[in-house]
Chain A
Amino acid sequence: MPIQRRTFLAGTAAAATLTSAPKIHAASKDKQYRTALIGAGWWGMNILREAMAGGQTKVVALCDVDSDRLEINAEEVSDLSGDTPRTYRDYRELFEKEDVDVAIIATPDHWHALNALAAIEAGAHVFIEKPTGHTIGESQAVLAASRAADRIVQVGLHRRIGPHHVSGMKFLKDGGAGDIGLVRMFVHSRGGAEKPTRNSEPPENLDWDMYCGPAPLRPYCRRIHPGGFRHFLDFANGTLGDWGVHWLDQMLWWSDQQSPTSVHSTGGRPIAGAAVLNDDEQTTDAPDHQTATYEFDSFTATWEHRKFAGQGPEQTSIGCYFFGTQGTFHIGWRDGWTFYPADSKKQVIHQDAELQEPDGHNLKLLYADFLRSIETGNRPAADITVGHQATTLALLGMLSMKLGRSVRWDAGAGQIIGDDEANGMLRRTYREPWTYPEIG
């Protein structure tokens, strides 16, 4: 019989009783930041829990278009911290009525920029989930506004600060893998054909019009909310706009934030099947696989994802390979990092991951770094410039795939070179009454 991994939690205070003290005790630090969470779903609550656990957060407000989410999460905040956050359906009303030091933004991607711009305008520092925009122009607007208002913006790229990422990056930058000519970023999973899900009336607890916001209003379908927006291109940018941002950022970190000269991407839905959207039912519409090639002056980087076939013969299904003269370096998620020397007689070098459960992240470190930046005025580890660059590369990949040709990128000008049609795709048309943000 295999040995079972066990965690005995005997004696731990698992339950919050009504009479006991709040579970999270504020650390003895002076400043308490009046904090609001915009987008109170699974990931937003992950961030907020870490913020509360850090001891410098007073949760003043939660905002979500799903009133059930708001209620259940406000209750959890009260249980954890003793704070009684006020709840809002509309972030504009929140910023009008609340005095907010810090805004955490964890809405679906198509809302990121408008939420962040409103927060910055209200004088708040911002912890924003990646990507920093649904289109490149939005991300550029957030970057410009935060600089103009001198607000700290930390992007939720916790892989910038996770221990095995830091040690792995030191290994690479110290030349451990030699000269690197190719970086391959990838995420693979299992999957198959996708069946449409029936549309239905939005749940009465959901403000569906506000959920769609600046995106086109489409029929509600429970595949989208809760938790399914990532693979609907009106609201996000599929796997490249999700996981891709993390791994592109690792590549950019290693390369000291170089910019690619050109980007080319292809992808589609040969396995998932044609996207469906009609009055009765719909499917997702993000590609079930995608490849993207980023040409840099001194190396090439590729992205690859597929939602079928699983891990296959590879040792891992997620991360980046850095191919150098001394060997292949893999940086992953739960599997830490591993260096495979080109000389097979040399020993493989490995470092385990150190992650926070239940969801395997390093938000605690990233949030502490964020608050330290607010105190010192120094740039945080995943500053908006960092998040903006990784986001831009992901979105250029999506843009090239939709356009069907490669694009040349002028990072200084924030423009695609010599392609008006492509430049037009740096923005999107917003649904009334929402207006696309102007840059600067």
Chain B
Amino acid sequence: MTSMPLYRFSVHGLFVVVFLASFSQCIAEDWYRWRGPSGDGISRETDWKCDWTDGQAEIAWSRSVGTGFSSVVVKDGRAFTLGHVDGQDIVYCINVADGQTVWTFGYPAELDDRDFEGGPISTPTVDGDRLYVMGRAGELFCLQISDGTKLWGKNIADETEVRLPGWGFSAAPLVIGDTLLLNVGESGVAVDKHSGDLLWSSDDRECGYASPVLIPNSEPTAAVIASGKAYVGVDVQSGEQLWAERWLTSFNCNAADPIFHDGKMFLSSGYNRGSALFDISGETPDLIWKSKEMKNQIHTSILYQGHLYGIDGDMETGARLRCMDWSTGDIRWSVDDLRPGGLAMADGKLLLLTEPGDLIIAPATRDGWEPIARSKVLDGKTWTSPVLSGGRIFCRSIRGQLVCVDCRD
């Protein structure tokens, strides 16, 4: 298979996508990057079920992937994630059918468990036949997804001479055309995704923890980068700062990705910040409303049918699951005692993974929280968002238990 010219794959792949997309809305969908193919945390899959008998979901397999907070991405029947084991961060390529390791790739790294459990905290990104991986100390790798061969690698923090943020780099790399955009430095770094060559960098200021997000329909093509103290609009081509919306928290901790919809931008952070909606149709963001009622400390909210579903508050001392009206900032409902650990959505349903490891499914509606299924799937502390792909839900604990919940119809 390695001898076949690359272009044939491309033509073939394109044909498959077009063919399936035109005949079915219910195809299995590769969750190939952080927040999914649409970048909104929502899976378009409908062919999955959660009619768990005796309140117990079917666990297809369970395995260890090392300590860390990295989420899972899926491509062509393989799942990828990161974890720390014995002085190394390990990139795992896993067969989704049986949970067996296809390959691993390791690089030396500290667990660095001061203040939290430690281990890698970013989610890798699949782009075609490549996997992009970012470590907490600035390690950046491009791997071949077929066998884990390193195509290029470097320490991007060292190369651009910027400081590490307090908890280390956590943003998922974002592919835009031939550019790989990273949240490193004051307003990002761009490298050529093929070679790893540096395209542009930004000043040595503490970056935030959110992943770069493309602004839809922007001209010139622009993305928003979370710094420690602001969300910054940057020209993806040049790296030029277009605007910066000052957004302070107590710990330089801007961790939730900005959400774009209908010419507006939603920002939210924890640590005493709160949230706000901005009109971004003009030169600079224009505040529409702000609120202290949705403070996304770690997790990005999910926007669905005019409402944001998100985790408000401090994960250590007790966070809440809330529903907030996008247009007004009004809170529709709030459930205080769920101990939310991670959130996803598919087919109009919220997939909530609780901190102790329960997976709860409930319709996403402004009318309230009415779960239809609940199952214990993990033991122990879980702060990573679940991922639904191909009818399987991948759930991961901080200590590194990864389970595959089989929900195929």
Contact = CB atoms under 8 A, between A and B. Distances in A.
Contacts of A16: 289-291
Contacts of A7: 333-336
A5 B248 contact: no
Contacts of A71: 248
Contacts of A6: 333-336, 368-369
A15 B289 contact: yes
Given A16-B289, A197-B114, A198-B114, A9 B374 contact: no
Contacts of A4: 335, 337-338, 369
B113 A8 contact: no
Nearest to A66: B250
A14 B333 contact: no
A90 interface: no
Contacts of B337: 4-5
A8 B368 contact: yes
Nearest to A200: B166
Interface stretch (B154-162, B170-178, B322-330): B322-330
B287 A18 contact: yes
A379 to B, nearest CB: 34
Contacts of B369: 4, 6
A79 B374 contact: no
Contacts of B250: 41-42, 68-69, 72, 226-227
Nearest to B275: A15
Interface in B9-67: 55
Interface string A67-79: 0110111001001
Nearest to B373: A1
Classify chain B: how many residues form its interface, as a range.
35 or more
Size category, A interface: 35 or more
A15 B272 contact: no
Contact of B330 (A5, A13, A227): A13
A195 B114 contact: yes
A417 to B, nearest CB: 43
A87 to B, nearest CB: 13
A148 interface: no
B289 A11 contact: no
Contacts of B229: 68
Contacts of B324: 14
A72 B249 contact: yes
Interface in A1-34: 1, 4-18
Interface string B87-115: 00000000000000000000000000111
A8 B333 CA distance: 5
A31 B115 CA distance: 47
B71 interface: no
B263 interface: no
Interface in B315-365: 324, 328-338
B289 A5 contact: no
Contacts of B374: 1
B382 interface: no
Contacts of B240: none
Contacts of A1: 55, 371, 374
Contacts of B293: 9, 14-15
Contact of A15 (B114, B249, B290): B290
Interface in B257-299: 272-273, 287-293
A202 interface: no
A53 to B, nearest CB: 14
A281 B248 CA distance: 26
Contacts of A195: 113-114
A69 B252 CA distance: 11
A222 interface: yes
Contacts of B206: 203
A17 B251 CA distance: 26
B290 A79 contact: yes
Contacts of B329: 14-15, 17
A426 to B, nearest CB: 35
A196 interface: yes
Contacts of B287: 18
Q: What 7 pairs across the A-B complex have the smallest Cβ distances?
A: A15-B329, A14-B293, A15-B291, A9-B331, A15-B289, A14-B331, A72-B248
Interface of B: 55, 113-115, 166, 206, 229, 248-252, 272-273, 287-293, 324, 328-338, 368-369, 371, 374
Interface of A: 1, 4-18, 41-42, 45, 68-69, 71-73, 76, 79, 195-198, 203, 222-223, 226-227
